[in-house]
C-alpha cells in the first residue's frame, strides 16, 4: 500500500467524479409524499395556535423528554415523518409558552399565524440578505422607510434588521463612537487614538444590554453613567446635566445619551424631548432604546408618550415584541445614513460592487452592521404590517395598556396585593401585602409557572422582588386578566396554606378560563 502523503493540492477524494453512478441531493424522493407530510405539519401547527387556550402556558420537560436530545450524532437519516413525530412528542409541548394569553413574563411577543407562514415561505426562498441585487433588500428597505415614517425620521434614514434590541443598542454605541471619534479612525487605530475617554449616559432603569455594549465596544462599563430616575422611573434630566458638566470638568468627553422608551422593568418612558434638548446642546449622540415602547408611536392615543422620539439620532426596537413578528426581528434605525455606513462598511474583494448584475447596488446591509450572512427577517415583518395594517396593530398595542390598567385596578382593590411601580404602558409590577422581603412574591411566581395556568415573571425593584406582568400579547383579553387575578389570590392562599373558600379546580371554565393543570 502506498503510504506516501498526498501531494499538496491533490484531490483528496478517491474515485473519478465522472464515474459516480447515483447523483445525490437533499430533495424528497417522492414530492407528493413530502407534500402531504408538510401540509400535515402546517395543519397541526395552525391547530396548535388556534387551540392555545386549551393547553397549559408552560410545562417543564421531563428527564425522559430531555434525554431525547442527548443522542449520538446520527449517521443515517430516517423518514421525515419520524422527525415530525418527534417534534410533536418532544418539542411542541414544551415551548416557552409566550403565545398563550396568560403568558406575561419578561417582555415577549406572542407571534401570529401570518408571521408563521411568512417565516416558512422565507425559508423556502432561503435568501441570504447580507447584500447583492435581489428583491429581499428592497423589502428590508421598505421596512426602514415605513419605520422612518412612523417615528418621524427623514425618508433617507438607514435601517437594518438585527437579532434584537440588544444588538441594535450595541450598534448604536458603535455608530455614536464613530461620530465622536471624528477623524481619529478608531476602527483602524483603536480607542487609544482618542484624545480623551468617551462617556455615555442612561437612566439607572436602562436595560443591561447597554452596559454590556459599553463592555463589548471597549469603551468600558465604568464610563456609562447611570442617572437617577424620578418617581415615575424616568431619568432625572437635571441630574443628567450635572453629570455631563462634571465629566467635562474632569476632562472626559460625553458622547452619547441613551433614552429609554419603555423600560424593561416597569415600562417607564424618559422625557425624550428634554433628552433631545440636552443632546443637542451638548452635541452628543441621542439614541433611544425603544425595544418595545417605541412602537407606542403606532397608536395615536399612545404616541404623545414617546414625543421626542422623532429627534433621536438612532432608535433600537423590536418587531418581535409588541408587533408579534416571530422571533427574531430586532431593528436599528439611524437618522444619518452616512455616519451609519461609516461605522461598518469595509472594502473586501469578494464584496465589491458591480455596475450591473447580481453584485450591483450601493449600500448593502453588510455595510450597516457586523452580519454578513443573514436571513430574510424583513419578509415576516412585511407580511405582518401588510396583512394587519398599522391601525389594528396599534389598537392591539393599546389594548395591552388597557389590560394593564385593568390589572392595576384589580390589584389595588385587593387587600392581599400592593402595586410596586406606576403603570405607564403595559407593565404591572406588584407585590404581596405583608411580604417585606418579597419571598412570598417569589414563591407565587414559581407556583404559577408550575401550575401551567399563568406565567408572570419576577423582577427586583428597589432591592425587593416584585411580581411583574408584562402584558404584550394581542390575545390577552379582559377575561384573562380577571382569571389571572383569581389565580393570584388562589396561589397566595395556597402558599400561605390559608383555607380555600372553594376548590380552585371548580373555577368556572369558558373562554379565557383554563384549568389548574396537575399534569
Ligand atoms: C427586551 C428589551 C431589550 C432587549 O431586547 P432583545 O430583543 O431581547 O435583545 C432591551 N431594552 C429594552 C427596554 C427591552 O425591553
Distance 98 CA to ligand 1 centre (A): 15
Determine contact, residues 472/320, Cβ cutoff 8 Å. Answer: no
Measured over the CA atoms of residue 117, residue 120, residue 122 and residue 124, the dihedral's sign is negative
Domain count, the chain: 1
SS3 (DSSP) at 316: strand
User: What DSSP element (H or E) covers 254?
Assistant: strand 253-260
Among candidate residues 344, 350, 261, 368, the one with its CA nearest the CA of residue 306:
261
| Residue 110 within a domain | no
Instruction: Please identify every stretch of the chain with a pLDDT value under 70, giving residue numbers as ranges.
Output: 1-12, 14-21, 499-519
pTM for the model stands at 0.93
Q: How far is the CA of 160 from the centre of ligand 1 (A)?
A: 16
For residue 188, how far is its CA from the centre of ligand 1 (angstroms)?
30
Burial of 132 (0-12, 13-18, 19+ CB in 10 A): buried
Helix 31-50 and helix 113-125, axial crossing angle in degrees, nearest 10: 150
> For residue 331, what are the domain limits?
120-385
Ligand 1 centroid distance, CA of 264 (Å): 7
- To test the pocket of ligand 1, the residue of 96, 164, 260 to mutate (highest count of ligand atoms within 8 Å of its CB) is 164
Nearest Cα to 158, choosing from 352, 358, 351, 364? 364
High-pLDDT (> 70) share of the chain, %: 92
Mutate to test the pocket of ligand 1, among 234, 318, 426 (most ligand atoms within 8 A of CB): 318
pLDDT, residue 4, reads 57
Walk across the sheet containing 427-432 and list its strands.
417-419, 427-432, 464-470, 457-461
In three-state secondary structure terms, 78 is: coil
CA-CA distances (angstroms) from residue 162 to 141, 316, 319, 403? Answer: 14, 10, 10, 30
DSSP state of 194: S
CA of 351 to the centre of ligand 1 (A): 31
**In this structure, what CATH number is given to the domain that contains residue 161?**
3.40.640.10
Residue 72 included in any domain: no
Rounded distance from Cα 165 to ligand 1 centre (Å): 5
φ, ψ at 502 (rounded to 5°)? -150, 150
Residue 254 lies in a domain: yes
The pair phi, psi for residue 126, each rounded to 5°, is 50, 45
% the chain with pLDDT above 90: 89
In this prediction, residue 507 carries a pLDDT of 41
User: Which ligand 1 atom sits nearest the alpha carbon of residue 166?
Assistant: 9
373 part of a folded domain: yes
* Domain contains 508: no
| Half-sphere exposure in the Cβ direction for 494 (13 Å, CA) | 18
- The per-residue pLDDT for range 357-366, each reduced to its tens digit, is 999 999 999 9
The verdict on residue 137 lying in a domain is: yes
Joined grid coordinates for residue 241: 446635566
Angstrom distance (rounded) from CA 144 to CA 150: 10
Residues 6+ apart with CB under 8 A from 243: 201, 225, 227
Q: How far is the CA of 382 from the centre of ligand 1 (A)?
A: 21
**Residue at 91 is within a domain:** no
At how many degrees (to 10) do helices 478-496 and 377-413 cross? 60
User: What angle (nearest 5°) sits at the alpha carbon of residue 148, between those of residues 147 and 150?
Assistant: 60
Paired with 330 in beta bridges are: 162, 318
The HSE-up count of residue 73 (CA atoms within 13 Å, CB side) is 1
SS3 content of the chain, % helix, strand, coil (to 5): 45, 15, 40
Cα–Cα distance for residue pair 218/174, rounded to 1 Å = 10
Q: Rounded to whole angstroms, how far apart are CA atoms 91 and 459?
A: 28
SS3 at position 351: helix
In the reported structure, the alpha carbon of residue 330 is separated from the centroid of ligand 1 by a whole-number distance in angstroms of 9
221, 214 Cβ separation under 8 angstroms = yes
Cβ–Cβ < 8 Å for 516, 453: yes
Angle at 179 between CA 177 and CA 180, to 5 degrees: 65
**Which residues have any ligand 1 atom within 6 Å of their CB?**
107, 164-166, 207, 209, 260, 262-264, 289, 291-292, 318, 330
Distance of CA 397 to the CA centre of its chain: 16
Phi then psi for 229, rounded to 5 degrees?
A: -115, 160
**Mind listing the pLDDT tens digit for each residue in 56-95?**
999 999 999 999 999 999 999 999 999 999 999 999 999 9
Length of the chain, in residues: 519
Q: Which of 166, 213, 429 to mutate to test the pocket of ligand 1 (most atoms within 8 A of CB)?
A: 166
Burial of 496 (0-12, 13-18, 19+ CB in 10 A): middle
Per-residue confidence (pLDDT) for residue 10, from 0 to 100? 59
Residues 6+ apart with CB under 8 A from 241: 278
Task: State whether residue 235 is helix, strand or coil.
Answer: strand
Name the CA dihedral angle for 464, 457, 268, 424, rounded to a multiple of 10 degrees. Answer: -110
Determine, yes or no, domain membership for 42.
Answer: no
Distance CA 403, CA 481 (A): 7
Q: Please list the residues that pair with 332 across neighbouring strands.
A: 160, 316
> To the nearest 10°, the Cα dihedral for 406, 412, 415, 417?
80
Enter the C-alpha cell of residue 292.
Answer: 418595545
Backbone angles phi, psi at 481, to 5 degrees: -65, -45
The pick from 108, 168, 209 for probing ligand 1's pocket by mutation, whose C-beta has the most ligand atoms within 8 angstroms, reads 209
Amino acid at each position: 500500500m502506498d503510504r506516501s502523503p498526498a501531494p499538496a493540492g491533490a484531490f483528496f477524494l478517491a474515485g473519478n467524479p465522472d464515474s459516480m453512478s447515483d447523483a445525490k441531493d437533499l430533495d424528497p424522493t417522492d414530492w407528493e409524499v413530502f407534500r402531504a407530510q408538510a401540509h400535515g405539519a402546517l395543519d397541526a401547527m395552525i391547530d396548535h395556535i388556534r387551540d392555545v387556550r386549551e393547553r397549559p402556558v408552560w410545562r417543564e420537560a421531563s428527564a425522559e423528554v430531555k434525554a431525547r436530545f442527548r443522542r449520538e450524532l446520527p449517521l443515517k437519516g430516517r423518514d421525515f415523518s419520524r422527525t415530525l413525530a418527534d417534534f410533536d412528542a418532544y418539542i411542541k409541548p414544551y415551548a416557552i409558552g409566550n403565545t398563550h394569553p396568560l403568558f406575561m413574563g419578561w417582555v415577549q411577543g406572542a407571534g401570529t399565524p401570518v408571521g408563521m407562514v411568512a417565516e416558512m415561505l422565507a425559508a423556502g426562498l432561503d435568501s441570504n440578505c447580507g447584500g447583492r441585487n435581489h428583491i429581499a433588500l428592497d423589502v428590508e428597505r421598505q421596512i426602514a422607510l415605513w419605520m422612518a415614517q412612523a417615528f418621524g425620521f427623514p425618508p433617507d434614514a438607514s435601517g437594518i434588521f438585527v437579532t434584537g434590541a440588544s444588538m441594535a443598542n450595541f450598534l448604536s454605541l458603535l455608530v455614536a463612537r464613530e461620530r465622536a471619534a471624528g477623524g481619529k479612525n478608531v476602527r483602524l487605530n483603536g480607542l487609544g487614538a482618542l484624545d480623551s475617554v468617551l462617556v455615555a449616559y442612561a437612566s439607572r432603569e436602562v436595560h443591561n444590554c447597554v452596559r454590556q455594549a459599553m463592555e463589548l465596544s471597549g469603551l468600558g462599563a465604568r464610563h456609562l453613567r447611570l442617572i437617577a430616575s424620578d418617581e415615575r422611573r424616568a431619568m432625572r434630566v437635571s441630574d443628567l446635566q450635572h453629570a455631563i458638566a462634571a465629566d467635562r470638568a474632569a476632562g472626559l468627553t460625553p458622547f452619547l445619551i441613551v433614552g429609554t422608551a419603555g423600560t424593561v422593568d416597569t415600562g417607564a418612558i424618559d422625557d425624550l424631548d428634554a433628552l433631545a434638548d440636552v443632546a443637542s446642546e451638548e452635541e452628543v449622540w441621542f439614541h433611544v432604546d425603544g425595544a418595545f415602547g417605541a412602537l407606542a408611536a403606532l397608536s395615536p392615543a399612545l404616541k404623545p408618550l414617546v414625543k421626542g422620539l422623532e429627534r433621536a439620532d438612532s432608535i433600537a426596537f423590536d418587531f418581535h415584541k409588541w408587533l408579534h413578528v416571530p422571533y427574531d426581528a430586532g431593528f436599528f434605525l439611524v437618522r444619518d445614513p452616512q455616519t451609519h455606513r461609516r461605522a461598518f462598511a469595509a472594502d473586501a474583494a469578494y464584496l465589491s460592487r458591480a455596475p450591473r448584475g447580481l453584485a450591483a447596488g450601493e449600500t448593502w446591509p453588510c455595510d450597516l452592521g457586523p452580519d454578513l450572512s443573514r436571513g430574510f427577517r424583513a419578509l415576516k415583518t412585511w407580511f405582518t404590517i401588510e396583512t394587519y395594517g398599522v391601525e389594528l396593530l396599534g389598537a392591539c398595542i393599546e389594548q395591552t395598556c388597557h389590560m394593564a390598567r385593568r390589572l392595576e385596578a384589580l390589584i389595588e382593590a385587593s387587600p392581599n396585593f400592593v402595586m410596586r411601580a406606576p403603570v405607564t404602558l403595559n407593565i404591572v409590577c406588584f407585590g404581596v401585602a405583608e411580604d417585606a422581603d418579597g419571598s412570598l412574591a417569589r414563591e407565587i411566581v414559581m407556583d404559577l409557572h408550575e401550575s401551567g395556568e399563568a406565567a408572570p415573571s419576577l423582577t427586583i425593584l428597589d432591592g425587593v422582588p416584585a411580581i411583574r406582568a408584562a402584558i404584550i400579547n394581542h390575545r390577552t383579553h379582559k377575561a384573562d386578566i380577571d382569571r389571572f387575578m383569581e389565580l393570584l389570590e388562589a396561589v397566595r392562599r395556597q402558599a400561605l396554606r390559608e383555607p380555600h373558600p372553594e376548590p380552585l379546580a371548580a373555577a368556572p371554565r369558558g373562554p379565557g378560563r383554563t384549568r389548574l393543570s396537575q399534569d
